[in-house]
A and B are shown apart, each in its own frame.
Chain A
């Protein structure tokens, strides 16, 4: 059992939790994720690690209420326990292996869409701690859904906020912002790391391909065990099948078959909808 040390509601339907898991806190690196099982009957759900504190032995999880299982996690309160948390899973971000020279010679742009700010934040922070200041685009539906903006500002050179409805910052999609930076503001980027909804990562990759900028995406495929056992997270990378959990989660955005990845995310859509209905009707019983 793993205690929820703190829980905060950071945006509409988005919660942030510090969970006591000392081994994970000690070994986690930017780019990795965990798998959580809320209770005995629960699913194993992959979640991004947004931060970790080796001294306190905590990992910070950010969860958005989307379906039955994410709702069950978010219903857990401070002081309560999660049945299981395991990790860190997946490979750390590529740049943590870069030499200081490599790090300082590159201008990196992060593109964080929606909940994608959560996994982007530890990467920006890691670079900041290594005295490298990346730029960050944060995209959200509206002002109330924007997360980690202030935290990113502590470590980034520039943070560009965009909202779909224009309620805050630039009005438009992250790809519009990206083209504005490249074309109008004449920004030069050596590498782009985009994390967010699959469809956003697809269009970011299509855009950066035009400008021939190296692009890394972090995939959120369906998984069961997260250790390479089940193969539910299969993705095609440059025509080759890879497992997101052990070969990723970060891949070259220009090689990912996004249409297949989008389709594979809908594998259990019918069952999930049924579970959501069950979950809602339970609320009224």
Chain B
């Protein structure tokens, strides 16, 4: 029986070696490994994995094509649903989505859907296959603000039905969080991200970098002066949060956003680049999400001894499981049930230590997670040179504050209906800017919905 085959584990760089470089950790499947893993899929009549995929990729179908060695067909099926499969195969939290609902996972390990998606996307790239389509122009112009996962998906979905799309990006590089946030060792920038964006450009999508909507141009100027028929805002959640504890402005304390932007966008880890980065001899990363893992593993690769401090336990860590496993293999220390209360300075105003309290788990909070309760008199210090705050991010208020009538909620997220329509006619939004920090694939799903809504809106207004 097919399901007796154990899950094929993708080969990885040895932990001892990979902590000395920024190359990708996972090598991915070979063709033979992919075919073997694909053969484990039961091809369920009522596939739960498809429902749990935010863009509803026909997972059993593409996997069965891989199993039959029909790689071209498999790649074509994935491309119908996702314009960024090589990205999603690498960064989606599969264990809580497609793989989380795989029938095989009940008794054994689920089918490695993510690794198979990555395999087929990489295979298509290596064989120069491009499935993205271009349509006859309908003459209508759409401005997409932000070139992250939401914007890229929205742009492609619109260009393929005939719209003339221009993406405006504030930074000098396209990709949004794929460029500045996710490290090279998890998502190679040149081979994977740049390639997917190049493919998109071939469909006719125009990308204008260095244009900050809300500063260089306002949304209303896009509509009134630049004559766009509609605007999609996919500007993500770029503003870092801090704890507001004593010592947070000391030298050596930074947001994970700063640390990762220096490393990823500015390539500060590469000696040929000018941007400086400082990871100290010892670093403490505060937080438990993917960003915390990325910051910790980046600091480790820059030669620092790293401790991740998290106020709940390992079970509640919001990071992808694979990232936690990789971090542990690489020698990251974890101090669970620990919460910082103060950062202590040396005589020069640099970080010397971080003062923490021990916690225990109390009753579940509104998110369903058990909330940490501080244990009295449990204060202790962890000596460190660097503190990296990875506590989450919120949307940048720049657009909302310069666009009259654009409603935001108390979390500074742009208010949208289920299709991405904002409080202003002709302005749509989706991804982290509307939901708060979430995942690449959810942002892609939102970009797709908004593209449909924009098409509907412009057809009504004929």
Report B-chain residues with C-beta under 8 Å of the C-beta of A85: 210
Q: Assess the B251–A264 pair: CB atoms within 8 A.
A: yes
Residue numbers in B under 8 Å from A89 (CB-CB): 212, 215
Choose among A27, A224, A234 the residue that contacts B266 (Cβ–Cβ < 8 A).
A224
Smallest Cβ-Cβ distance to B216: which chain A residue: A23
Is the Cβ of A266 less than 8 Å from the Cβ of B212? no
A23 to B222, CA, bound (A): 12
Contact of A87 among B215, B254, B255, B275 (CB under 8 A): B215
Report yes or no: B349 in contact with A263, Cβ–Cβ below 8 A: yes
Q: Given A241-B249, A264-B251, A230–B276 Cβ distance below 8 Å?
A: no
On whether the beta carbons of B261 and A229 are closer than 8 Å, the reply is yes
**B216 and A232 contact, CB distance less than 8 A:** no
Q: Does A158 contact B (CB under 8 A)?
A: no
The contact size tier of chain A is: 35 or more
**In this assembly, does B258 line the interface, its C-beta being within 8 Å of a C-beta of chain A?**
yes
Complex Cα gap A7–B398 (Å): 33
Q: In angstroms, how far is the closest chain B Cβ from the Cβ of A82?
A: 10
Q: Are B266 and A43 in contact (CB under 8 A)?
A: yes
State the Cβ distance, B271 to closest chain A Cβ, in Å.
9
In B242-293, the 8 Å CB interface with A consists of 242, 244, 248-249, 251-252, 254-255, 257-258, 261-262, 265-267, 272-278
B residues less than 8 Å from A236 (CB atoms): 249
| Interface members, chain A 179-236 (any B CB < 8 Å) | 224-225, 227-232, 234-236
B276-A224 in contact (CB<8A): no
Q: Is A165 an interface residue (CB 8 A)?
A: no
Q: Which of A42, A87, A272 contacts B216 (CB 8 A)?
A: A87
Q: Which of B217, B261, B348 contacts A230 (CB 8 A)?
A: B261
Determine if B273 and A268 form an interchain contact, defined as CB atoms under 8 angstroms apart.
no
B46 smallest CB distance to A (angstroms): 43
**Tally of A-B Cβ pairs under 8 angstroms:** 116
Docked complex Cα distance between A68 and B396 (Å): 31
B239 contacts A232, C-beta separation under 8 Å: no
The yes or no answer to B93 lying at the interface (CB within 8 A) is no
Residue B151 is within 8 A (CB to CB) of chain A in the complex:
no
A275 touches B274 (CB 8 A): yes
**Contact residues in A for B72 (Cβ distance below 8 Å):** none
Cβ-based interface call for A24 (8 A): yes
CB distance from B286 to the nearest CB of A (A): 14
Give complex CA distance A262, B263 in Å.
Answer: 25
Q: For the complex formed, measure the closest distance between the CB of B357 and the CB atoms of chain A, giving whole angstroms.
A: 22
Q: C-beta contact mask, A113-155 vs B, less than 8 Å → 1, else 0? A: 0000000000000000000000000000000000000000000
Lowest 8 CB-CB distances: which A-B pairs, in order? A271-B276, A230-B258, A86-B210, A268-B276, A84-B172, A231-B255, A229-B238, A263-B349
> Footprint of A on B, CB under 8 Å?
170-172, 180, 209-212, 215-217, 238-240, 242, 244, 248-249, 251-252, 254-255, 257-258, 261-262, 265-267, 272-278, 348-349, 396-398
